[in-house]
Amino acid sequence: MVSAIDTAAIIISRDAHNISRAHISENALKVLYRLKNAGYQAFLVGGGVRDLLLGRHPKDFDIATDALPEDVRGLFRNCRLIGRRFRLAHIHFGRDIVEVATFRAHHEDAAEEGEGVLRDGMIMRDNVFGSLESDAWRRDFTINALYYNIEDFSVADYTGGMQDLHDGVLRMIGNTEVRLQEDPVRMLRAVRFAAKLEFHPEAELEDAIKRLADRLEVVAPARLFDEVLKLFMSGHALQTFELLRQYGLFHYLFPQTAEVIDNNEPFVLPFIRQAMVNTDHRIEQDKPVTPAFLFATLLWVPVRQEAERLRESGMSPIQSLQVAAETVTREQQQVITLPRRFQTPMKEIWISQSRLEHRRGKRPLSFLDHPRFRATYDFLLLRCDIGELPPELGEWWTRFQEVSDEERRAMCNAIGGSSKRRRRRRTSKASAKANDS
């Protein structure tokens, strides 16, 4: 924790830091200069400054200013004001959006009733505007409270963020417990930054997260969906998963999966870890990663367990997976909103697993052209990799895609012949046993 009495503002001049305008997006520079030329203060702030100082290449550039949201809209025809809880200006340049926020102040400084609202310690409305200094002390972590000034290209540091950046420490600004209660999602942000930057959270922050993990239960499911995507689709999914478990947060995001992990269900941890490794590898190679596949891996073992229970009661393999998929998804929806556009392919990946386990006849040939075949096949390979299924099954489907149509038919017929031979052997054994008796 760091508080306002701990440090005075430090101004790092242009020759004492490594930020260059050449590494700032052209659109962000346009916004900064137009604000400055209109007589407003304009600063690059947050993750963009942090990453530039670390020698990284940020994708997003956020701006802080003393201009009110309506003033920003008056300067930019391509501006939209969004949000009630936290009013922001979004300036659109095609698909690129530059986010502009007015300097915030403390809630008790609200000039109008209802603009700074807390409920049970949680921020419900946050439109109390203030100065650069007050804005710095309102931010979450010290390393995110560094301001690049377009006026003279200096960096303003009110909270000791430059030192924490140098030391690799993740430190909360203000009273750690109060700040986490104001917005419990900050616990997830702490995990994301720790995994992404390989920073170590200070001991006070670690302890507070473990104590307050259950506060995630009051966060809207739709907001948690957005945060989970940031957690697992930023290229550090494996480390993120381990940290979520270490700090007791994973249970409040995926309670059904956490339960099977706690029950030492075979394959669940190797399966998820391998899925996270594969996700990180795809992102590193700039390959697409779909949330449907991600959620399918995180919820698979609860689905499989429920399907097994239903099969024991007499359901067919396909029907049991269909019912299990609906049951697990419905329960997960109480915690994290899963948009239908991701629910449908996620369920298809699960249900189609039984189709890949049956390779006789013409069905494998027709399924090869199914839009969801590739995702289903990749999911099957994951199961084979960790030993949940025999590796020969994955190898068969890999070869099946590589050979000609004639060879594919031969492979299916061979499976059919093997099945008939197994049935004949079982029948012969049963007859022999009957004769012996």
Q: Which two tokens stand for residue 164?
A: 């924490």
Known active-site residue 60: yes
Domain coverage including residue 129:
1-174
C-alpha 108/C-alpha 36 separation (Å) is: 29
Known active-site residue 109: no
Q: Is residue 157 domain-resident?
A: yes
Q: Is residue 60 domain-resident?
A: yes
Q: Distance between alpha carbon 397 and the CA centroid of its chain, in Å?
A: 30
One of 51, 62, 66, 157 is an active-site residue; which one? 62
Contact 160, 142 (CB under 8 A): yes
> Same domain, yes or no, for 164 and 17?
yes
Number of domains in the chain: 2
Q: Is residue 356 domain-resident?
A: yes
Which CATH number goes with the domain that contains 113?
Answer: 3.30.460.10
> Same domain, yes or no, for 165 and 276?
no
> Same domain, yes or no, for 158 and 9?
yes
Q: Length of the chain in residues, anyone?
A: 437
Q: Per residue of the chain (437 residues), give pLDDT as tens.
A: 776 655 578 999 999 999 999 999 999 999 999 999 999 999 999 999 999 999 999 989 999 999 999 999 999 999 999 987 678 999 999 999 999 999 998 755 444 544 444 555 555 555 688 999 999 999 999 999 999 999 999 999 999 999 999 999 999 999 999 999 999 999 999 999 999 999 999 999 999 999 999 999 999 999 999 999 999 999 999 999 999 999 999 999 999 999 999 999 889 999 999 999 999 999 999 999 999 999 999 999 999 999 999 999 999 999 999 999 999 999 999 999 999 999 999 999 999 999 998 898 888 998 998 999 999 999 999 999 999 999 999 999 999 999 999 999 999 998 865 544 444 454 444 444 444 54
Q: Is residue 259 domain-resident?
A: no
146, 174, 202: which is the final residue of a domain? 174
C-alpha 415/C-alpha 423 separation (Å) is: 12
142, 174, 206: which is the final residue of a domain? 174
- Residue 32: count other Cβ atoms within 10 Å of its Cβ: 25
One of 60, 96, 378, 385 is an active-site residue; which one? 60
> Same domain, yes or no, for 8 and 152?
yes
Distances (CA, A) of 375 to 3, 47, 118, 193, 352: 49, 33, 44, 29, 10
Q: Is residue 180 domain-resident?
A: no
The confidence score (pLDDT) of residue 2 equals 74
User: What are the residues whose beta carbons fall under 8 Å from the beta carbon of 247, sequence distance 6 or more?
Assistant: 187, 191, 206, 209, 210, 213
Contact 165, 53 (CB under 8 A): yes
> Same domain, yes or no, for 170 and 25?
yes
The confidence score (pLDDT) of residue 34 equals 98
Q: Is residue 260 domain-resident?
A: no
Known active-site residue 164: no
> Same domain, yes or no, for 41 and 146?
yes
Q: Is residue 371 domain-resident?
A: yes
Q: Is residue 36 domain-resident?
A: yes
The confidence score (pLDDT) of residue 272 equals 97
Rounded to two decimals, the pTM is 0.86
C-alpha 210/C-alpha 284 separation (Å) is: 31
Q: Which two tokens stand for residue 28?
A: 């962000």
150, 174, 198: which is the final residue of a domain? 174
Q: Which two tokens stand for residue 225?
A: 């969906």
One of 66, 140, 164, 183 is an active-site residue; which one? 140
Q: Concatenate the DSSP letters of all residues of 187-240 into one string.
A: HHHHHHHHHHHT-EE-HHHHHHHHHHGGGGGGS-HHHHHHHHHHHHSSS-HHHH
Which CATH number goes with the domain that contains 374?
Answer: 1.10.3090.10
> Same domain, yes or no, for 26 and 167?
yes
